[in-house]
Amino acid sequence: MKRVLFVVTSCNVKGDTGIPTGFNLAEVTHPLEKLEANHIDVTIASIKGGAAPTDGLEDMNDPVIAKYMGSDKFRKAIANTVRLEDTQVADFDAIFFAGGHGTMWDFPNAPSVLKLVPQFYESGKVVSAVCHGPAALVNVKLSDGAYLINGKKIAAFTNDEEEEVQSTNVVPFLLETALINHGALHQSSPNWSKKVVIDGRLVTGQNPQSAASLGDALVKLLE
């Protein structure tokens, strides 16, 4: 059985604003549904481990979110996430970083992220992320000292989308800009439209609307 490590944020507040945040449920549940339908096992981890905060933006009219939030197994998984630094690359075939604004504070410089992502990539495994999840990739360097994203086609939450949700001056940096500054070839679609980009074993999506399609792409890469 193939196994994928899902990573969510442990950050529950947007910097010093006092505004609550966390991970986006759609960006976890939609890919999760695709993987589970294809008998791929998923473990959910977070930066600190334990209970992972959600961003409160979940639409309970979304049947996929409603299904998982009605599942004792899923609720237990997000209330008892594995601490990322306690995971082993050898146990998984891919790593996936879900979004939500919290990621902008704890993903980019987390020692566990900077250590594990190069190990996944350089051992021939899949690295993936959606929406603000690519914040995990901004500062990752490979063993030769080059940024992982340098010269790679990447999709992520765009500056225009950040502006539309009135968070340009809230987030610690603009994700699209940071990715480009470290050499990424940023790819985008109009705000809130689906966009998934596959560059070898690197798979990224632009926004929550891209989460299910990213799950499909992961399934195909793991066949």
pLDDT of residue 184: 98
The half-sphere exposure of 86 on its side-chain side, counting CA atoms within 13 A, is: 11
> Per the residue annotation, which of 27, 131, 161, 176 is the catalytic one?
131
- Mean pLDDT over 184-203 rounds to 98
Q: Look up 131 and say whether it is catalytic.
A: yes
Structural domains present in the chain? 3-221 (3.40.50.880)
- Global pTM reads 0.98
Q: Which helix (H) or strand (E) holds 6?
A: strand 3-8
Selecting among 132, 161, 176, 182, the annotated active-site residue is: 132
d(CA 156, CA 182): 14
Give me the pLDDT at residue 102, please. 98
Catalytic residue among 162, 176, 182, 186: 162
Which pLDDT score, from 0 to 100, does residue 52 have? 98
In tens, the pLDDT along 64-114 reads 999 999 999 999 999 999 999 999 999 999 999 999 999 999 999 999 999
Give yes or no for a contact between 157 and 131, defined as CB atoms under 8 angstroms apart: yes
d(CA 172, CA 25): 22
pLDDT band for position 30 (50/70/90)? very high
pLDDT score at 80? 98
Q: What is the pLDDT of residue 85?
A: 98
> CB–CB of 146/128 below 8 Å?
no
Cβ–Cβ under 8 Å, residues 185 and 148: no
To the query of whether residue 132 is one of the catalytic residues in this protein, the response is: yes
Look up 162 and say whether it is catalytic: yes
